[in-house]
Amino acid sequence: MIAQDFLRHSESPVGPGGSSSSTAATSAASAPWVLIEGIDPEINAGRYPVKRVIGERVVVEADVFAAGHDELSALLKFRHESEASWQEVVMTPLGDDRWRAEFRVSKLGCYFYTIAGWVDHFKTWRHDLRKRIAAGQDVSVDLRIGATFVEEAAAGAPEAVARELRQWARGFSEGEAATLGERAQAALDEGKAALVYQHADRSHASVYAPQLQVSVDPVLARTGAWYEMFPRSSPGRRGPHGTFADVERQLPRIAEMGFDVLYLPPIHPIGHTFRKGKNNDPTAQPDDPGSPWGIGSEEGGHTAIHPELGTLDDFQRLLARARELKIEIALDIAFQCSPDHPWVREHPAWFRHRPDGTIQYAENPPKKYQDIYPLDFETTDRQGLWDGLLSVIAYWVAHGVRVFRVDNPHTKTLPFWEWVIGKVRAAHPEVIFLAEAFTRPRVMYALSKMGFNQSYNYFPWRNSKHELIAYFTELTRSPVVEFFRANLWPNTPDILPHPLQEGGRAAFMSRLILAATLGSSYGIYGPAFELQEHEAVRPGGEEYLHSEKYEIRDWNLGDPASLGWLAAMLNRIRHENSALDEARNLVFHHTDSDMILAYSKATEDFSNVVLVIVNLDWRHAQSGWVHLALDRLGLAPHTPYHVHDLLTGAEYQWHGDRNYVSLRPWDMPAHIFRVRRY
């Protein structure tokens, strides 16, 4: 009667969806026996891909478990988007229902991965058989049971393998010439067991859904040194306004300094209406060139070239020469328009109109940018706008550009970036996008999830030992490491941080060393950094006096005070030490001074180990004891080791985990040690 009562009530619908208890019972009865959860890495329940570059590992862990005491098996399955069949890796149990396996990515584009797990009766049988043999029990019936599991595997195996498995099963279950003990040992043959595992019946396996993804980028998306320069201010230019030919003449110098990417601010025609003058003066003089970010004039818009820079042929010659020197040219993508941009006339619906009929210019109160009209991503012509912006990127990709620095992406709707980057990278997975997104952490991280390969970050404002350790621990030890790659810039044309204003040459040197070694990608706003430009337009601000954004500058890079030699030395150190190619391997070491920061990076096999120690005090010498975590350096306790300073050439023999350092910032504010065992 009780059972009938439950069955009767099960016919009543439950919940707003109209499902019934009987439906729920049927669903529960057909649910997989093995549960798979706690996947790592997994971004937003599989909504976004994790990021890797060619050659990197994807280490996957998961909780795979079921009720009872039966043994389980689990597989990591993966495939490239161009492949129909899955490759499989047997997962290793770590204990407490945690499993792990890994695979390497070898192609650009998208990989899929998932996990399959099942109750493995054959493995359970072998596990129990060993215990029964050890206890001296009669296992004759157990051997016959095991043979049935082998027969099941043979049914799904190729003919040759099936014959081998059936012969093995008969041998240990029915063999008359062998003793029971010999048959039992034959049943534990590891090679034959591997064949059973390979062809096991997985019809009841649980498979994790949804399929997870890995977005695979070129190595340059993980590691690279960027140099920014305004083409119109090219050092040594042949006229009052620089040209692409002038930039081309600078390429050997930039290559000798070891930079991998040359980033050029917008190269397009500049508007005249409300053009800004020197130091962002709202009134321009007749000879003021305007801001390159005020894009568009009667000469064209985002697919046109400023006529004083040269022609499209000149630009493509620059691209080709740069590639000969192993330098990629990065272009700026700034989706905004001057009032003179052709889109203002051709697509007025793409802009926000005020009640008086005028178009809303850009503002960041109290700052006003009358020379820039932002695009209205809430336009009624959304598809037209999105297609138009995609066509801009597609145009430059078609002409050979493979790296883009995107201006203020956080001021545009996030779904647009997912759509446009997805479109571009589906056809050209080698294209790299750097987000210039100095914004709130969640927005910054969301942009990376949407497809940006790298991002600007808070490094310019992280200066104390505590700030640096906390921030870089977040970037290299928290889940964001799976999708966010920080490109470290100590300065930009928009940002002259206060340490560079106040700290003198030593501050420039220490910030450059930190940028080049804390992460794996970094950049400098080149000439201004080399010559240690440090004057702000007003006290307390971060805008440069005589900002190159508003005027053409003459740079004397032959000045003996230039720090070009230090950038060249750091880039050479980076190229010669593969440990510095990675950011995830960053390890901080304790020091007894708040002004001394110590950290290391090592390859997996410890064949390359780099230890960096930086004096964060730009005015005073600092000394103290560095306490090393020797195991993170591949060193044994109480054993001497060799440290070679790659900045000064000095060499020392150190002992144990506690060693003394002293750094005078006016000489060299840091050690970069190559660590070697004797």
- 178: domain CATH number? 1.20.58.80
Residue 203: the pLDDT is: 83
Is the same domain home to 63 and 147? no
Tell me the per-residue pLDDT of 278-313, one tens digit each, with 9 for 90 and over.
999 999 999 999 999 999 999 999 999 999 999 999
Q: How confident is the model at residue 30 (pLDDT cuts 50, 70, 90)?
A: low
User: Is 407 a known active-site residue?
Assistant: yes
Residue 330: the pLDDT is: 98
Residue 33: the pLDDT is: 85
Residue 200: the pLDDT is: 87
User: What amino acid is encoded at 280 in this protein?
Assistant: N
Is the same domain home to 171 and 266? no
- Does residue 567 lie in a domain region? yes
Is the same domain home to 111 and 146? no
Residue 8: the pLDDT is: 47
Is the same domain home to 601 and 641? yes
Give the mean model confidence (pLDDT) for residues 622-627: 98
The CATH number given to whatever domain includes residue 45 is 2.60.40.10
Tell me the per-residue pLDDT of 385-394, one tens digit each, with 9 for 90 and over.
999 999 999 9
Q: How confident is the model at residue 31 (pLDDT cuts 50, 70, 90)?
A: low
* Residue 455 · residue 435 · CB < 8 Å: yes
Among 216, 246, 277, residue at a domain's last position:
216
User: What amino acid is encoded at 520 in this protein?
Assistant: S
Burial of 488 (0-12, 13-18, 19+ CB in 10 A): buried
Residue 333: the pLDDT is: 98
Is the same domain home to 567 and 593? no
Residue 7 has pLDDT above 90, yes or no: no
Token code pair at residue 128: 């129990």
Give the mean model confidence (pLDDT) for residues 56-75: 96
Is the same domain home to 114 and 162? no
Residue 360 has pLDDT above 50, yes or no: yes
- Does residue 3 lie in a domain region? no
Q: DSSP states of 216-232 as a string?
A: EE-GGGTSEEEEE--GG
- Does residue 330 lie in a domain region? yes
Give the mean model confidence (pLDDT) for residues 249-276: 97
Residue 14 has pLDDT above 80, yes or no: no
Token code pair at residue 39: 């996947």
Residue 1 has pLDDT above 80, yes or no: no
- Does residue 610 lie in a domain region? yes
Is the same domain home to 166 and 241? no
Give the mean model confidence (pLDDT) for residues 330-351: 98
Among 198, 233, 264, residue at a domain's last position:
198
Is the same domain home to 322 and 406? yes
Number of domains in the chain: 4
Give the mean model confidence (pLDDT) for residues 17-46: 72
Residue 22: the pLDDT is: 53
Domain boundaries, position 57: 32-119+207-216
Residue 32: the pLDDT is: 67
- Does residue 253 lie in a domain region? yes
Tell me the per-residue pLDDT of 560-601, one tens digit each, with 9 for 90 and over.
999 999 999 999 999 999 999 999 999 999 999 999 999 999
- Does residue 15 lie in a domain region? no
- Does residue 323 lie in a domain region? yes
Is the same domain home to 161 and 266? no
Residue 13: the pLDDT is: 43
Residue 11: the pLDDT is: 44
The CATH number given to whatever domain includes residue 472 is 3.20.20.80
Q: How confident is the model at residue 202 (pLDDT cuts 50, 70, 90)?
A: confident
Long-range contact pairs involving 640-644 (C-beta distance under 8 Å, separation at least 24): 640/678, 641/675, 641/676, 641/677, 641/678, 642/675, 642/676, 642/677, 642/678, 643/611, 643/671, 643/673, 643/674, 643/675, 643/676, 644/673, 644/674, 644/676
Tell me the per-residue pLDDT of 474-511, one tens digit each, with 9 for 90 and over.
999 999 999 999 999 999 999 999 999 999 999 999 99
Residue 10 has pLDDT above 70, yes or no: no
Is the same domain home to 540 and 650? no
Query: Which of 248, 260, 436, 657 does the annotation list as catalytic?
Result: 436
Is the same domain home to 274 and 263? yes
d(CA 34, CA 69): 12
- Does residue 51 lie in a domain region? yes
User: What amino acid is encoded at 299 in this protein?
Assistant: E
Residue 339: the pLDDT is: 97
Residue 17: the pLDDT is: 45
Query: Which of 120, 328, 407, 617 does the annotation list as catalytic?
Result: 407
The dihedrals phi and psi of 518, each to the nearest 5 degrees, come to: -70, -40
Among 189, 216, 243, residue at a domain's last position:
216
From the list 393, 350, 369, 392, the residue with the least C-alpha distance to 294 is 369
Is the same domain home to 655 and 600? yes
